Amino acid sequence: MTYFGYVKNDFKFKHIVNYVIVGAALILFTVLQLVGAIPRSTSYLLTQISYSIILSVSLNLVVGFLGELSLGHAGFMCAGAYIGCYFGGILSEYIGSKLLVLIISMLIGGIVAAVFGLIVGLPALRLKGDYLAIVTLAFGEIVRNLCKNVPWFGKSLGLSTKTYGVKLFIVGFAVILIMLILLQNLIRSKHGRAITAIRDNEIAARAMGINVTYYKLFVFVFSAFFAGVAGVLYGNYATPVLYSFFSYNYSIEILVMVVLGGMGNITGSIISATLITIANFILTTKLSGDLAAIKNLVYALILMVVVIFNNAPALQSFKEKFSFAALNDRLMEKKRAKNPEKFAADIRNDSAQWSRIPTKISMDEILSTDVVSNEGIRDEGDKPSAK
Amino acid sequence: MSYMLETNNLGISFGGLKAVQDVNLKIEKNCLYGLIGPNGAGKTTLFNMLTGVYKPTTGSFSLDGENLTGLSQETINHKGIARTFQNIRLFNNMSVIRNVLVGLHNQPDFKCNPFVSMIHAKRHYENESNMRNRAKELLRIFDLEEERNNLACNLPYGKQRKLEIARALATNPKLLLLDEPAAGMNPQETAELMDTIRFIRDEFDLTVLLIEHDMSLVSGICDEITVLNFGTVLDHGSTRSVLANPEVIKAYLGD
């Protein structure tokens, strides 16, 4: 994919697009909310969208940038939701400000989820690919059932929480913005480079002295933290917090958002999380009563159609012509033609090289991430047997 | 006299197969040391032991007097052994300069906490531009500076090999292990590579241990060589005497 000898799509400002999208949404909907132009149901939809975006972007860091398949994201969310909201309930008796309580409980929920991430990560990150997926899947179920059986959390009736009200989505979008700043800065630094190096070639990354375990754990904990925060947002939106919501189906749904949006593509994750949440919301509201049975069928059909059309050659070529990166490319080409010295395609900010992150890894490839490394070991002989 | 790399009866067995056994290497500082042998003799396995990919089952090895046996790959790299791979292992989806930047990751001059990076503090920007300058210097040695924004996988084979050496050098090693550096190069490129290896040895004060099948390169630059055959040392000594040994010729060409 070179372009006159340079890396194509050396789009320096891709991260800014994300800030603009989320920032614009935040300002627009906040203003609309303050004038009272947003109906109650829409504000709830916006809340759902905000925590879905947090979940999908944070999972994208693990699946897309680090290249490890985690199926336990709903588990981290569950831990954050139960414990954050439980403490939120206690705190609300002492602190008057609802917002302050929400922020503190989000921090508590996030930290608890991060600790869970550390506990799971330490043993699990020795595993790869399918095996890691199985362990994280099991972890999600364990956390969910643990929360179901803790007496303070209301057992199977669920933990009844105080809802924050219609303005919750404003907090949600603000959290997305903060998360994007931290996450994109991390990716665009030397640490992000190390993380993508691990995904590209773990053996070489190790040989270059990169502490693979440290970075895997770091990414795992970082994404678990934000899953916990999203859990607290969910808990402040839905009462009671039911353990059944955090089933592995929900983990898969988050993964679907990531895969649909493109691995390692943050803008894609934001957009696909939004669209899938809206689709779910519409299906749930329109298909009530007897029709509820076909909801999953329609949902599956929509997903299939989106995946097929997303890979259609016509849409691909349309994207190549009219994406931000392509427009930037054309602009840079013109500038280069005029002044080749100044715009010598020196990519100052290519630390993550967003555009080069493969955005169309098929499910097949994700599920067999260990094949690559196994081959690597195979062609250098077998591992020594333990004595 | 202390040696840069010293191995004592180093060996490894996979199940019942003794892949490498009783290897005793003594490599002096600043030496260009060759490791040759027929296919399957255990040369790459030896490299894998020296870099921590495999844990030796017998024996030990030490770098500059410090015992490194059984340490992890990362730690061994921090202690000063860097390597290239026989089947090139670049970060293919990254640009050339980023490959070198990954190599610079652990250098003490460029330490930067992840949390500092997360808020893109001033230190982060200083760090990045310093790293970039150092990476460009390294690329200049290998004549790759012009291609620094190309994808690594788009480089021709010979340049990919050079980039791997540049990336290994970025980790600031004391001992550089080169696994068939001239494979896939034409005679002219090989000659250039010989000059480059000599140059980096002097410039970076390195000791180089290389595996090579190209005898013109081996006899051209190696001070000493060791011949491995079926996992054991067949002969070692100065290049001229070893290559004249009839046993060695027999191992390579058969009876």
Q: Does B87 touch chain A (CB under 8 A)?
A: yes
Instruction: Tell me if A190 and B112 make a contact (CB, 8 A cut-off).
Output: yes
Chain A residues whose beta carbon lies within 8 Å of the beta carbon of residue B87: 379
pLDDT, average across residues A51-71: 93
Confidence category of residue A340, pLDDT binned at 50, 70, 90: low
The closest CB to that of B91, out of A1, A6, A200, belongs to A200
Q: Does B117 touch chain A (CB under 8 A)?
A: yes
pLDDT at A164: 79
Identify the bridge partners of residue A101 per DSSP, sorted by sequence position: none
Interface of A with B in 212-231 (CB under 8 A): 212, 218
User: What are the sequence ranges of the domains in chain A?
Assistant: 13-268
Cα(B107)–Cα(B120) distance, integer angstroms: 19
pLDDT, average across residues A197-226: 92
pLDDT at A370: 39
Residue to test with chain B: of A66, A126, A178, A208, most B Cβ within 10 A: A208
Quick check: A172 pLDDT over 50? yes
CATH code 1.10.3470 for A13-268:
yes
Instruction: Tell me if A190 and B110 make a contact (CB, 8 A cut-off).
Output: yes
CA dihedral A324, A326, A331, A333 (to 10 degrees): 160
Asked if residue A30 lies in contact with residue A170, where contact means CB atoms within 8 angstroms, the answer is: yes
The residue with greater pLDDT, B77 or A331, is B77
Q: Model ipTM?
A: 0.89
Quick check: A228 pLDDT over 90? yes
Quick check: A349 pLDDT over 80? no
pLDDT, average across residues B181-197: 87
Amino acid identity at A76: F
Cα(A61)–Cα(A340) distance, integer angstroms: 36
Quick check: B207 pLDDT over 70? yes
Quick check: A359 pLDDT over 60? no
pLDDT in tens, A99-130: 899 999 999 999 999 999 999 888 877 887 78
Instruction: Tell me if B117 and A376 make a contact (CB, 8 A cut-off).
Output: no
Instruction: Tell me if B14 and A384 make a contact (CB, 8 A cut-off).
Output: yes
Instruction: Tell me if A350 and B167 make a contact (CB, 8 A cut-off).
Output: no
What is chain B's mean pLDDT, rounded?
Answer: 88
Chain B residues whose beta carbon lies within 8 Å of the beta carbon of residue A346: 149
Range with lowest mean pLDDT among A7-16, B9-18, B41-50, B196-205: A7-16
Q: Does B90 touch chain A (CB under 8 A)?
A: yes
Chain A residues whose beta carbon lies within 8 Å of the beta carbon of residue B100: none
pLDDT in tens, B238-252: 888 888 888 888 887
Chain B residues whose beta carbon lies within 8 Å of the beta carbon of residue A196: 91, 93-94
Long-range contacts of B232-241 (CB under 8 A, 24+ apart): B232/B20, B232/B21, B232/B22, B232/B23, B233/B22, B233/B23, B233/B24, B234/B37, B236/B25, B239/B34
Q: What percent of chain B has pLDDT over 90?
A: 34
Chain B residues whose beta carbon lies within 8 Å of the beta carbon of residue A265: none
pLDDT at B171: 92
Quick check: A348 pLDDT over 60? no
**Start-to-end C-alpha separation, chain A:** 48
Confidence category of residue A37, pLDDT binned at 50, 70, 90: confident
Confidence category of residue A341, pLDDT binned at 50, 70, 90: low
Cα-Cα-Cα-Cα dihedral sign, residues A163, A166, A167, A168: positive
Instruction: Tell me if A7 and B82 make a contact (CB, 8 A cut-off).
Output: no
User: C-alpha angle with apex B165: B86 to B248, nearest 5 degrees?
Assistant: 50
Closest CA to B159 of B100, B105, B214: B100
Asked if residue B181 lies in contact with residue B157, where contact means CB atoms within 8 angstroms, the answer is: no
Interface of A with B in 318-357 (CB under 8 A): 345-347, 350-351, 353, 356-357
Instruction: Tell me if A193 and B102 make a contact (CB, 8 A cut-off).
Output: yes
pLDDT, average across residues A293-301: 83
The nearest alpha carbon in chain B to A3 belongs to B150
Instruction: Tell me if A350 and B98 make a contact (CB, 8 A cut-off).
Output: yes
pLDDT at A350: 42
Instruction: Tell me if A210 and B45 make a contact (CB, 8 A cut-off).
Output: no
Instruction: Tell me if B19 and A383 make a contact (CB, 8 A cut-off).
Output: no
CATH code 3.20.20.70 for B1-80+173-255:
no
Cα(B217)–Cα(B194) distance, integer angstroms: 7
User: C-alpha angle with apex B196: B194 to B197, nearest 5 degrees?
Assistant: 65
pLDDT in tens, B66-90: 899 989 999 999 999 999 998 889 9
The residue with greater pLDDT, A346 or B98, is B98
User: In chain B, which residues fall in CATH 3.40.50.300?
Assistant: 1-80+173-255
